[in-house]
Structure 1
Amino acid sequence: MTSRLPFGPDDLPARVLHRDGEMLVIDKPAGVPVHAGPKGGANLEAMFETLRFGLPRNPALAHRLDKDTSGCLVLGRHRKALAKLGKLFSQGRVDKTYWAVTRGAPSNDAGLIDAPLAKRSPTRGWWMAVDPAGLPSSTEWRVLARGAGLAFVQFRPLTGRTHQIRVHAAHVGMPLLGDPIYGAEAAGGAVLHLHARSLTIPISNNRPSVEVSAPLPPHMAATFTAMGWDETIPLEPMGAITI
């Protein structure tokens, strides 16, 4: 099941970023689908047995990330927790921050993309497009750095539509580096540069929200280094850093 991936079940426990009695947050590697598609194949969900940590059942996905997206992925450890997490995600109460590299960027340093999204094809449910008749969709963005014709952009999706960041970024003229569907990436070109950097999850009414962040995957770290960005320099909370 996993022989076709450069990643196996025994590698998964080391990628746990957070663990408590209700949930796990793992650092999903890029290039690994979270579950089997219509045609089957190797996937992350098939490896969850190594994440039981003493519980009788495997954890389960509380949400989804695209195959080529890396970073924070939340799993519920039992049915009650999974139902709670599903409600938090559906109500938009989980704060999500993504890091991406885009080809070009608007002259402004920050903004809000408010563009409804709908399925572009009735037979390909994941293929989305901006459509005035679609579902309300909003994404905040902020340029953190620029260099070499690229931009390092932080995205905060306020809604949770399929491929929302990828479609919205392309819609305003800053397609994601490595996106062959909504961008103009040639086959065999750069790997998608989209990373689920951090989550804030209000899992308990009696304790502070759980805050988790995932380190950059190697391909994105290499691009940032080539752009001249020093990962050891903390990012400013507002405005942009110009390289």
Structure 2
Amino acid sequence: MSLDLVARVLYRDPAVLIIDKPAGLMVHAGPKGGEHLGLFLDQLRFGLAQSPELAHRLDRETSGCLVLGRTRKALAGLGDLFAKGLADKTYWAVVVGKPREDQGVIDYALKKREKKFGWRMEVDRNGLASVTQWRLLGTDGRLSWLECRPLTGRTHQIRAHCAAIGHPLVGDAIYGRGTGTLAGDRLMLHSRNIVLPFHAGKPPIAAKAPVPEHMRAVLEGCGWDTL
């Protein structure tokens, strides 16, 4: 795979990088090997001795804003910011059906479940507190375009939460089986914006990732205006 990460830089300063991660690329090496983002990070040294490292993560099939730290100090600071829930993350998702309300809050604790054919996150009152704010941005009646803001950072949070309220993400092989045929078989989840209050005394860092090609037609059908 050939990947030009320099062309995908959304924000850069001496401590922090934000890139537009492509859908379909793991951020870490998987148990079965294969290509992952770490193989390409050397492109982003920009004169430093070390490559940047991940400050958080996105699922393999999720595209969009991904934050990297360029120094040990920056990584520690970013890690603390994410751990405290101070990173303002906005995702765009395409889900099956049309919610009854125009906005809402999903407050379902989630717990990891190991199963014969893999693992998944499930709603469990004994799980970790998990909260997602959502807003309906558009719909064609069959599919809907949601803005989702996870107030906690659980693995698969948006995917599990949307499925739990009866609106699984299109293309989600784990939480929305059978939804892939509705609009292609790729997961329709995109990290659209991120805002980080990182540098003391300065405005927050902000970045916006362009909509990936595999989501554009469906979003336009739900009312997204590209102009």
TM-score normalized by structure 2? 0.94
- Determine the C-alpha separation between the residues in 2 that align with 1:113 and 1:187: 24
Contact residue 27 and residue 60 of structure 2 kept, 8 A: yes
- Uncovered stretches (5+) of structure 1, i.e. residues with no partner: 233-243
Query: Which of the residues 130, 133, 150 maps onto 1:137?
Result: 130
- Determine the C-alpha separation between the residues in 1 that align with 2:156 and 2:78: 21
CA distance 1:168–1:40, change in 2 (3 Å) = same
- Uncovered stretches (5+) of structure 2, i.e. residues with no partner: none
- Determine the C-alpha separation between the residues in 1 that align with 2:115 and 2:48: 40
2:57 paired residue number: 64
1:206 paired residue number: 201
- Determine the C-alpha separation between the residues in 1 that align with 2:70 and 2:52: 4
Query: Which of the residues 217, 222, 226 maps onto 2:217?
Result: 222
Q: Secondary structure at the match of 2:193?
A: strand
Contact residue 23 and residue 63 of structure 2 kept, 8 A: yes
Q: Secondary structure at the match of 2:220?
A: helix
Deviation beyond 4 Å, 4+ runs, structure 1:
122-126, 186-189
Cα offset for 1:39? 1.9
CA distance 1:210–1:126, change in 2 (3 Å) = farther
Contact residue 35 and residue 46 of structure 1 kept, 8 A: no
Which residues of 2 match residues 1-243 of structure 1 at below 5 A? 3=1, 7-8=2-3, 11-121=4-114, 127-185=120-178, 189-232=184-227
Q: Secondary structure at the match of 2:77?
A: helix
Contact residue 172 and residue 180 of structure 2 kept, 8 A: no
Contact residue 198 and residue 212 of structure 1 kept, 8 A: yes
- Determine the C-alpha separation between the residues in 1 that align with 2:109 and 2:142: 28
**Percent identity of the aligned residues?**
54
Deviates more, 1:119-128 or 1:107-116: 119-128
Q: Across the two proteins, how many residue pairs are aligned to each other? A: 225
